[in-house]
Amino acid sequence: MKIKTLITAIALGALPVFATAQQAAAPAAQPAKPVPQTPEAWLQRMTDFTQNMSAYKDPRVFVPWFNAVTEPGFYTTMGNLIMDPAGWLRMMNSMIDPGAYRNVAEFADPNVYTRWLAASMDPNFYTALLTTMTDPGKMMRWMMMPMDPKLWSMMMNTLNPGMYMKWMMSPLDPKAINLMVAPMNPNYYMGWMGAAMDPKTYGPMWSGFLSPAGYTATPAATSNPWSGTGYGAAPAQASAPAMFNPFDPNAWAQMFTVPGSQVPAAQPAQPAAKQ
C-alpha cells in the first residue's frame, strides 16, 4: 500500500514538470498575445471572436481575466461599449472571420487540458484567485461605485443625441457594408475551408503531427533531440519513400497519373576519364 502511495505522489509531482517540458518542446505556431491590462483592452478582446477564449485556454491568462471582470469599472466601460454601434459592428465582423474557427478549434490541443490539470494542483493558482476575491481595495471600489463619475457618465450617455445619431448612420458605416456583402465574397468561404484543413488551426501538437513535412522529411544525423544526453546521435539512414499524406491535395492528384507518362529527370553529365 505504501508503494502505491509513493508512486502516485511521484506521478502527481512530475505532472507540472511534464507539462512545462511539453510546452517547451511544442513548436511555436504563433507568438503569444499580450495580456490586456485595462477594462477597455479586455472588452476589445472579449468582443473579438477570433481571440475571446484565450482566458479559458491558459490559467495564466484566466487569473488577470478574473481580476478584470470583478472590477466595477469593467461594467461601466461595458455599458458605454454596448451603446456604441461601432463595437457591435466590429464584433459581428469578427464572427465571420476564419480566425473565429481557429479560436474554437484550439480546444482540440491536448496542451490546453494539460495546463489546466497542472494548475489545478498548483497552490499558487488558488492563492491568486483567493487574493483577487479578498482584495480590500476591490471591495471598497464596489461600495463607492454609486459615486463613480464613470457610472454617471454612462447613465447620462442615454440622453446624448449624438449616441442615437450614430445608430441612425450605422448602416452607412463601411463595417456594416462589409458585413452585408460578406456572403457574396468567395474569399470568406475559402478562408473558412483553409482554416478547417490547416493543422496549425488545432494547436502546435497537431501542427507537428499532421504537417506534410513530417511524412516526407528524412531524419538527419544531427536531428536527434536526445543527442548530448548520453543516447548519441542518430545513425545516418537512407532516404525512405514518402508516405501518403491524406491532407495533401497533390498526393491525391498523383494517384491518377498515367504510368509511364512521367519524363525522367536529366542525369548530370559524367566527367570524361583521363587518358
pLDDT score at 207: 60
Split at pLDDT 50, 70, 90, the class of 33 is confident
Give the confidence band of 266 by pLDDT, cuts at 50, 70, 90.
low
Q: How far is CA 58 from CA 66, 95, 112, 120, 126, in A?
A: 12, 22, 7, 12, 14
Predicted confidence band of residue 200 (pLDDT cuts 50, 70, 90): confident
- C-alpha 202/C-alpha 110 separation (Å) is 10
The predicted structure's pLDDT at residue 210: 53
Does residue 232 lie in a domain region? Answer: no
In a domain, 56, yes or no: yes
Instruction: Tell whether the model's pLDDT for residue 25 goes beyond 50.
Output: no
Question: How much of the chain is in helix, strand and coil states, percent to nearest 5?
Answer: 65, 0, 35
What is the mean pLDDT of the segment spanning 209-219? 48
More confident residue, 158 or 247: 158
The predicted pLDDT at position 188 comes to 83
Distance, CA of 105 to CA of 113 (rounded, Å): 14
223-239 per-position pLDDT tens digit: 433 333 333 333 344 44
Is 255 inside a domain boundary? no
Per-residue pLDDT band at 256 (split at 50, 70, 90): low
The total number of structural domains in the chain stands at 1
Is the model's pLDDT at 30 over the cut of 80? no
Does the pLDDT of residue 213 top 80, yes or no? no
Of 77, 105, 90, nearest to 205 (Cα)?
Answer: 105
Average pLDDT over residues 196-201: 82
Domain span at residue 161 reads: 36-203
Residue 226, Cβ density class (10 Å: 0-12 exposed, 13-18 middle, ≥19 buried): exposed
Angle at 239 between CA 236 and CA 244, to 5 degrees: 135
Q: What is the C-alpha to C-alpha distance for residues 257 and 251, in angstroms, rounded to an integer?
A: 10
Contacts of 84 (CB under 8 A, 6+ apart): 163, 166
Q: How many CA atoms, within 13 angstroms, populate the side-chain half-sphere of residue 137? A: 5
Find the mean pLDDT for residues 249-268: 55
Assigned domain for 55 exists: yes
Residue 63, Cβ neighbours under 10 Å: how many? 19
Does residue 120 lie in a domain region?
yes
Determine the Cα angle at 39 with ends 38 and 45, to 5°: 95
Would residue 52 count as lying in a domain?
yes
